[in-house]
Amino acid sequence: MAISAKMVKELREKTGAGMMDCKKALTETDGDMDKAVDFLREKGIAKAAKKADRIAAEGLTAVKTEGNTGVIVEVNAETDFVSKNENFQNLVTNLTNHLLANKPATVEEALGQAFDGEGDTLESYINNQIAKIGEKISLRRFEVVEKSDNETFGAYLHMGGRIGVLSLVEGAEEEVAKDVAMHVAAINPKYVSRDAVSEDEVNREREVLKQQAMNEGKPENIVEKMVEGRLGKFFEEICLNEQPFVKDGDQKVGKYVQSKGGTVKSFVRYEVGEGMEKREDNFAEEVMSQVKK
């Protein structure tokens, strides 16, 4: 029987399972909705779906490079304990390898791709692991970066994968690119250089600084000079090249890289759970919630 999009949608709403898993379940059960639900439960996928409304803001980042391709990824779970779980660590490795090899453009595209391993798609593989590990797990984000032969990747993980950075440097050795990645992990700049900062953002900061100077009662004829001076500090805070190098505070990052014959082209920095709602449970409450199940 033909499986309609409406049927797939209904099964997704009943179970919370992924689109590809629902389509397969309906195909295997000849469109019988109840049997399809049972099919997903038997596979452990419906069990995974019950966890869909939980908060998953812990987890790991990973970085891997191979030839002229690099990838940085964040995979989330519910508790920090799981990031130390061997099954979860293997999952992160498998996802990273898949993304590096297949280079999908989006998370949605990645989840729908065929996966060589347990599960027909990447999404069903993750759901199988949710059933084994017992927590909500999600592929939150990733970025695939390509480089030329004259460019070098710098890969760095901090706190066992709590923070991950993938840097790209032109004309310098890998050690320099890794130094840049380490600095980015520690200081968290927003941009490579001031050229990358939008005119709107600069003007907004200029207005704030001008108002601050006026409020301090500074004479109008020196306010503009003060604003330009303070604007330099603003760029130093957000632009990698302008920041004092974390390994040598007397030298700016841009000058350090330049002294090694290179220039920084880009960087991607992921910190686990940044910008996400965090769990408020304390450890005792978490244990009790498990006991009461």
Within-domain flag for 91: yes
What DSSP string describes 233-256?
HHHHHHBGGGSEETTEEEEEHHHH
Structure tokens at 163: 């923070």
The answer to whether residues 19 and 98 belong to one domain is: no
The answer to whether residues 26 and 129 belong to one domain is: no
pLDDT at position 283: 46
The answer to whether residues 9 and 25 belong to one domain is: yes
Q: Contact 267/179 with Cβ under 8 angstroms?
A: no
Q: What is the CATH number of the domain that holds 14?
A: 1.10.8.10
Rounded to 5°, the CA angle 240-256-161 comes to 55
Q: Residue 248's beta-bridge partner residues?
A: 245
Domain count, the chain: 2
The answer to whether residues 133 and 176 belong to one domain is: yes
Domain hosting 97: range is: 58-190+267-291
Residue-by-residue pLDDT tens, the chain, 293 positions: 789 999 998 888 787 777 888 899 999 999 999 899 888 877 777 666 666 667 778 999 999 999 999 999 999 999 889 989 999 999 999 999 999 999 999 999 999 999 986 668 999 999 889 888 888 899 999 999 999 999 999 999 999 999 999 999 999 999 999 999 999 999 999 999 999 999 999 999 999 998 888 888 888 888 888 998 999 999 999 999 999 999 999 999 999 999 999 999 999 999 999 988 665 544 455 455 545 54
Burial class (CB in 10 A: 0-12, 13-18, 19+), 14: middle
pLDDT at position 15: 79
The answer to whether residues 159 and 85 belong to one domain is: yes
The answer to whether residues 85 and 173 belong to one domain is: yes
Pairing assessment for the beta strands 69-77 and 244-245 based on DSSP bridges: unpaired
User: pTM for this structure?
Assistant: 0.77
From CA 212, how far away is CA 216, in angstroms rounded? 6
Q: Contact 142/163 with Cβ under 8 angstroms?
A: no
Within-domain flag for 239: no
The answer to whether residues 171 and 287 belong to one domain is: yes
The answer to whether residues 74 and 154 belong to one domain is: yes
